[in-house]
Amino acid sequence: MLLYFMSMTIMIISMVIMYLASTLSKKSINDREKTSPFECGFDPMNSSRLPFSIRFFLIAIIFLIFDVEIALILPMIMIIKTSNLMGWSFTSLIFIFILLLGILHEWKQGALNWSS
């Protein structure tokens, strides 16, 4: 019964905090000057909402994914002496095979072709 009472108290306190945070964080006044971009006190020369290249975004996401994968491969090199060689080889080959499948899939989808 004590556990039930504590969980209900925690739930009520968290709901009150979420409600207060959502009501206090809302902006009530949308001022044109506050929503416009700031350029050292001068009027902006061109639009601040420039079109963004989706190809650049895709290349950046692919880079981040494979950068994290490199961070996962590096510790595998360090534990080669202390682990079972067959298990280590099987795990690392499967991991690298999944990476190669991912890069081949991206290549066939055309995400790596910058010029098209």
Tell me what the mean pLDDT of segment 56-64 comes to. 83
86 lies in a domain?
yes
104 lies in a domain?
yes
Residue of 73 and 52 predicted with greater confidence: 73
115 lies in a domain?
no
- Is a pLDDT exceeding 90 seen at residue 11? yes
79 lies in a domain?
yes
- SS3 sequence, 44-102? CCCCCCCCCCHHHHHHHHHHHHHHHHHHHHHHHHHCCCCCCHHHHHHHHHHHHHHHHHH
Q: How many domains does the chain have?
A: 1
100 lies in a domain?
yes
pTM over 0.75: no
**What is the overall mean pLDDT for the chain?**
82
Tell me what the mean pLDDT of segment 58-71 comes to. 84
27 lies in a domain?
no
Structural domain boundaries, residue 61: 54-109
